[in-house]
Amino acid sequence: MSLNGINTNYTTNTANTSVDAVKKADKVSDVKSDSSSAKKESGVTYESSVSATSSKRAKNAALVAQLKADSDKRAAQMQSLVTDMFKKQGITIGTADDMWKALASGNFTADKDTIAQAKEDISEDGYWGVKQTSERIFSFALALSNGDEKQMEKMVSAVEKGFSLATKSWGRELPDISKDTHTAIMDKFDNWFKENGSDTTTADLLK
């Protein structure tokens, strides 16, 4: 199978692993935010503020659910395609890590349909291409942070951890498409900080 085929399946893993890390990082944020809201409401009525915050959280939660459902569906389709391909060649896959390592090894072949699908998915405008994948991951981070700068800083670290975990599963140096996706995501974070009047940079956060 061509490098394009390998990159497609790996990008699936990278996106989902990064998103999982982002979601875990947000749990602490939710607890702190709830505690802060409780203190503000003590003895004083903030109906407008509370209502606006609740509405924003609801919209963000809906966005996260929609993005995750779509990503999970596409990831399942791709994994099914890879699994069927391996079965035809007598390659047994026990765990997700086994699958990524098998893909990274390159010791398999792919039919024309699989290669064609891979090329389409990782094309410039493809679902697992740099543009769409980076936009999805950044959108997850922004929604989970509720646009709070401190929480966005945590999202940067969470995304970085996700890529590190994906690299471990892959078993060797990341494919170029994944490296480019990582760069695109960090650029989006840097642009967000700048547009919101912050001097924070991802380079500083990841030192």
Q: How confident is the model at residue 20 (pLDDT cuts 50, 70, 90)?
A: low
* Residue type at 116 in one-letter notation: A
Q: Cα(154)–Cα(204) distance, rounded to whole angstroms?
A: 13
> If you average pLDDT over residues 136-155, what whole number do you get?
94
Residue % of the chain over a pLDDT of 70: 75
Distance separating alpha carbons of residues 175 and 184, to the nearest angstrom: 14
Model confidence over 35-54: pLDDT tens digits?
A: 444 444 444 444 456 677 77
Distance in angstroms (rounded) separating the CA atoms of residues 9 and 100: 8
The confidence band for 131, taking pLDDT boundaries of 50, 70 and 90, is very high
3-state helix, strand, coil in the chain (%, to 5): 80, 0, 20
The string of pLDDT tens digits covering residues 65-120 is: 888 888 888 888 878 888 888 888 888 888 888 888 889 999 899 989 889 989 99
DSSP at 106:
T
Q: Where are the domains of the chain?
A: 3-205
Output the CA–CA distances (angstroms, integers) from residue 63 to 68, 83, 112, 206, in the order listed.
8, 30, 36, 27
Highest mean pLDDT among 18-27, 144-153, 188-197: 188-197
Q: Average pLDDT, whole number, for the chain?
A: 80
